[in-house]
Amino acid sequence: MDKNASKLKPDEKKALPIGSIPKRDCVSGEGENLIVMRKIFLGLTVVLSIIVLFSCSKNDEISSNQDQTYEKPTMQNPTPIYQYGVSHNLRMDFIANNPNFLNLTLEEIFNYGKNYSDEYFTCSSETDYVSHVERRELCFYLIENPSNTGNALYNLELIPVTIIGLVDSLSVILDNAMDYETGVYKTSNEFTQEVENFESHIINHYDVVYDDIQKTGNEYAFLLCAASIAKNSYSYWMDAATNSNHLWSKRLDQVTYFGGIDEAKAPEWLKKIWRGIKVAAVDTWGLITARGCWEPEMGYDNNGNYTTIGATFNLNRALELAGDQSSNVP
């Protein structure tokens, strides 16, 4: 949806025109009674006019209030959406502070994480661990096949057609975070800058609609949420990979997933950083692959075809499912 797209305007209410009273000459012989009747008639007309004007004014006021109530909130300041990534990391800290954290199984971590909640992260409602693991495998597939993620997710009915290209762009950013052959990787600041350039592109070229009360938004708000997860998670896991005092540092040593690359070929200093980067990618795809979190918005495209022209996402629900994935990489 382009920023230049026309927006809904409040219904214009116009007062009904009040007809003028034609002047009539007094007929000779009717006398004073006609004069009195004329005054009464004119008086009633004035009263009626006032009533009509007042009624129209009230209708306009009610209509205006209704329009304000149902008008979609358009994003002016993306700051609330950026909080989703912060909330995601706070949940990770919550899990790591479990007294038996290092000995918990992945399924136990999955269940324990449901005890965390805040304004953006409500208690996860996904209880089927088998389905959770299947979705994790999809995240792995997207990491290992980064060239066609948009179409793959669209074909699985996980995203609307309107953001296929943007999802591919985010996939490139995630995939280019590190060159496995050379060992060169993006620092947290460098990666964050790339993601923020992606965010700016969305804000400057698309109509971002977000409701911070309902925690819902259109597909472009959804991608800003994914971007928030990406940059916050990347910083989180880079710190875990390079700082032995980090809450997840020792747990990251237990991670075996290596992004489809032969771990044996990697130098020791590289392995932990590489795993951290891939876990951050799982976090991001964990949000984007959240099934059952959006409804299509139907309408006519530029060619007159009735099709999906947008979507409304439950961002709160999507963040729940992303959180389940982020703490559960084997």
DSSP secondary structure string for all residues of 49-101: HHHHHHHHHHHHHHHHHHHHHHSPPBPS--HHHHHHHHHHHHHHHHHHTSTTG
In the sheet that holds 306-314, the strands lie side by side as 210-211, 216-218, 306-314, 294-300
> Does residue 30 register a pLDDT over 50?
no
> Does residue 292 register a pLDDT over 80?
no
pLDDT band (50, 70, 90) for residue 130: confident
Cβ–Cβ < 8 Å for 324, 110: yes
Say what percent of the chain tops pLDDT 70: 72
* DSSP letters for 122-145: PPP----HHHHHHHHHHHHHHHH-
According to DSSP, residue 18 is labeled: P
* Length of the chain measured in residues: 330
- Identify residue 293 by its one-letter amino acid code: C
Write the pLDDT tens digit of every residue in 214-261. Answer: 889 999 999 999 999 999 999 999 999 999 999 999 999 888 887 877
Mean pLDDT of 77-82: 73
Cβ–Cβ < 8 Å for 282, 137: no
Write down the pLDDT at residue 299: 79
Q: How far apart are CA 322 and CA 303, in angstroms?
A: 36
**Highest-scoring range by mean pLDDT, 112-121, 122-131, 153-162, 258-267:** 153-162
How deeply is 122 buried, as exposed, middle or buried, from its count of CB atoms within 10 A (0-12, 13-18, 19+)?
middle
Cβ–Cβ < 8 Å for 181, 265: no
Write down the pLDDT at residue 268: 73
Mean pLDDT of 58-73: 40
Q: Tell me the Ramachandran region of residue 248: left when phi exceeds 0, alpha when psi lies from -120 to 50, beta otherwise.
A: alpha
Q: How far apart are CA 191 and CA 173, in angstroms?
A: 8
Mean pLDDT of 260-272: 75
Q: How far apart are CA 272 and CA 140, in angstroms?
A: 17
First CA to last CA distance, the chain: 38
pLDDT band (50, 70, 90) for residue 4: very low
Contacts 24+ apart (CB under 8 A), 128-137: 132/324, 132/325, 132/328, 135/286, 135/289, 135/291, 135/321, 135/325, 136/282, 136/286, 136/325, 136/328, 136/329
Closest CA to 328 of 257, 230, 262, 273: 257
Mean pLDDT of the chain: 77
Q: How far apart are CA 201 and CA 168, in angstroms?
A: 14
- Whole-Å CA distances, 1 to 284, 299, 309: 23, 12, 8
Q: Give the sign of the dihedral formed by CA 71, CA 75, CA 80, CA 85.
A: positive
Q: Give the H/E segment covering residue 311.
A: strand 306-314
Write down the pLDDT at residue 330: 67
Q: CA torsion 47→49→50→56, rounded to 10°?
A: 150
Residue matched to tokens 């698309």 = 206
> Does residue 301 register a pLDDT over 50?
yes
Which of 20-24, 103-107, 135-139, 301-305 is the least confident region?
20-24
Here the tokens at position 111 are 């269940």
